């Protein structure tokens, strides 16, 4: 009989329980046994010896350089310097500044690279600033030269117009009747307004004359300055080719020989003085060289003509010994004849050497 069949208000029989006690107890025992079985299995696994576990063979590998730093992945680049042991790429050397001396350049090469970079950068900045200043100075100089050239042209035009202006004022027909001081006195006494005009005209003439005189003096001074610069430059170039001109004795001899050579071809002393102090052609260092070469040639010919003729040695007879120096005298005689015909400086030098050799015998 079930609970649903019990009539309300009726009392259930004592022998009919709601759930069997044995079933509940059996279920509890089974649950406890299962829990005990799980606990035993867990304890058994914890207490099992290591030999019972399956070991996986591990390959030995070299220990890492630093255990605290993880190895980089294959597709990642290492951070920092290059790999240890690999040489760093050499940086190109820094060239020392070109304006330094050789000793300074050698000193520069021994400095640390950081110092070299600093010095090279400073030198580049200095060179750039220097070039900029030079360019600016060159531009200013060009502007000044252009302005000076324009001023010189304007001044030349003004000065070239002064003589024409003066001649025009002096030949004016407005006051042609006033020629003497009596004419001026009568004009002042009888025609005062015209006298004032005449006086202003005369003052204008005097002002133009003063300007013209000043221009002439300035031109003369400028021409003299330019001539002195030209003469000094040409004389210096000649002295570079012939340094003996600076010696008081040799220089005087060279000048005298040049003057004598020019006089021999027809120049007078006055002409030479004037040409030397004003003519650019004869003062040119190239012309001075030509004059010196001509003077040397004329001097050599003069010495050749003034040379003392040696007597002809006697004819040697057969069987007799020739006198000492006879051969050398014959050589001297032959050179003298040759020099008379050629007039060459080389022949004159050879003759002098032959005579010196003969004198030593």
In the three-class reduction of DSSP (H, G, I as helix; E, B as strand; rest coil), residue 67 is classed as: coil
Helices (H), 242-325: 248-264, 269-278, 280-283, 285-306
Which residues, at least 6 apart from 289, have a Cβ–Cβ distance to it below 8 Å? 238, 241, 242
Are 100 and 135 found together in one domain? Answer: yes
Which residues, at least 6 apart from 105, have a Cβ–Cβ distance to it below 8 Å? 96, 97
Question: pLDDT digit of tens for each residue in the chain (361 aa)?
Answer: 343 443 444 444 444 444 445 665 676 677 778 888 887 777 777 665 554 444 444 444 554 444 444 454 444 455 444 445 556 667 788 888 888 899 988 898 888 988 988 988 998 998 899 899 999 999 999 999 999 999 989 988 998 999 999 998 888 888 888 889 999 999 899 999 999 999 999 999 999 999 999 999 999 999 999 999 999 999 999 999 999 999 999 999 999 999 998 998 899 999 999 999 999 999 999 999 999 999 998 888 888 777 655 555 555 555 555 555 677 777 888 888 777 777 777 777 788 888 877 777 6
Q: Which of 118, 142, 171 is the C-terminal boundary of a domain?
A: 171
Q: How far apart are the C-alpha atoms of 12 and 4, rounded to whole Å? A: 11
φ/ψ bin of 319: left (φ > 0), alpha (ψ from -120 to 50), beta (otherwise): left
Q: What is the H or E stretch that residue 287 is in?
A: helix 285-306
CB of 251 within 8 A of CB of 245? yes
Please indicate, yes or no, if residue 30 is contained in any of the structural domains. no
Please indicate, yes or no, if residue 61 is contained in any of the structural domains. no
Q: Which of 209, 241, 273 is the C-terminal boundary of a domain?
A: 241
* Tokens matching residue 221: 């001074």
* Tokens matching residue 36: 């005990």
Are 246 and 208 found together in one domain? Answer: no
Count of domains forming the chain: 4
Q: How far apart are the C-alpha atoms of 278 and 297, rounded to whole Å? A: 27
Q: How far apart are the C-alpha atoms of 3 and 309, rounded to whole Å? A: 188
Please indicate, yes or no, if residue 256 is contained in any of the structural domains. yes
Please indicate, yes or no, if residue 75 is contained in any of the structural domains. no
pLDDT of amino acid 181: 92
- Closest Cα to residue 161, out of 222, 224, 215? 215
Q: How far apart are the C-alpha atoms of 72 and 139, rounded to whole Å? A: 63
pLDDT of amino acid 51: 47
- Closest Cα to residue 264, out of 291, 235, 229? 291
Residue where the block lists tokens 């019990």: 6
Are 188 and 161 found together in one domain? Answer: no
* Tokens matching residue 299: 């001097």
Give the CA diameter of the chain: 206
Please indicate, yes or no, if residue 34 is contained in any of the structural domains. no
DSSP state, 65? S
pLDDT of amino acid 56: 46
- Closest Cα to residue 304, out of 355, 260, 252? 355
Confirm whether pTM is higher than 0.85. Answer: no
Q: How far apart are the C-alpha atoms of 210 and 217, rounded to whole Å? A: 11
Could you tell me the residue range of the domain that residue 158 belongs to? Answer: 93-171
* Tokens matching residue 239: 């002295």
Are 102 and 128 found together in one domain? Answer: yes
Are 178 and 167 found together in one domain? Answer: no
């Amino acid at each position: 009989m079930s609970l649903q069949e019990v009539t309300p208000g009726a009392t259930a029989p004592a022998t009919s329980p709601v759930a069997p006690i044995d079933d509940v107890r059996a279920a509890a025992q089974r649950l406890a046994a299962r829990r005990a079985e799980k606990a035993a299995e867990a304890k058994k696994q914890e207490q099992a010896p290591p030999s019972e576990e399956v070991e996986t063979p591990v390959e030995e590998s070299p220990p890492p350089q630093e255990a605290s730093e993880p190895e980089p992945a294959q597709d990642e680049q290492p951070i920092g310097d290059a790999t240890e042991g690999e040489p760093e790429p050499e940086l190109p050397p820094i060239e020392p500044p070109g304006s330094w001396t050789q000793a300074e350049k050698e000193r520069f090469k021994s400095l640390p690279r950081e110092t070299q970079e600093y010095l090279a950068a400073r030198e580049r900045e200095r060179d750039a600033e220097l070039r900029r200043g030079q360019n600016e100075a060159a531009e200013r100089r060009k502007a000044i030269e252009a302005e000076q050239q324009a001023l010189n042209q304007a001044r030349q035009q003004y000065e070239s117009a002064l003589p024409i202006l003066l001649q025009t004022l002096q030949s004016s027909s407005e006051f042609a009747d006033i020629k003497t001081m009596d004419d001026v006195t009568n004009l002042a006494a009888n025609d005062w307004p015209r006298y004032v005009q005449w006086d202003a005209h005369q003052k204008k003439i005097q002002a133009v004359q003063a300007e013209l005189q000043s221009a002439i003096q300035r031109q003369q001074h400028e021409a003299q300055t330019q001539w002195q610069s030209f003469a000094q430059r040409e004389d210096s170039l000649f002295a570079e080719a012939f340094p003996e001109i600076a010696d008081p004795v040799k220089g005087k001899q060279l000048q005298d020989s040049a003057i004598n050579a020019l006089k021999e071809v027809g120049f007078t002393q006055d002409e030479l003085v004037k040409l030397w102090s004003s003519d650019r052609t004869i003062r040119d260092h190239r012309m001075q060289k030509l004059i010196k070469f001509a003077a040397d040639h004329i001097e050599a010919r003069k010495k050749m003509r003034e040379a003392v003729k040696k007597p002809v040695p006697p004819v040697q007879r057969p069987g007799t010994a020739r006198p000492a120096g006879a051969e050398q005298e014959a050589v001297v005689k032959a050179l003298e004849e040759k020099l008379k015909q050629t007039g060459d400086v080389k022949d004159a030098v050879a003759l002098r050497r032959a005579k010196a050799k003969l004198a030593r015998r």
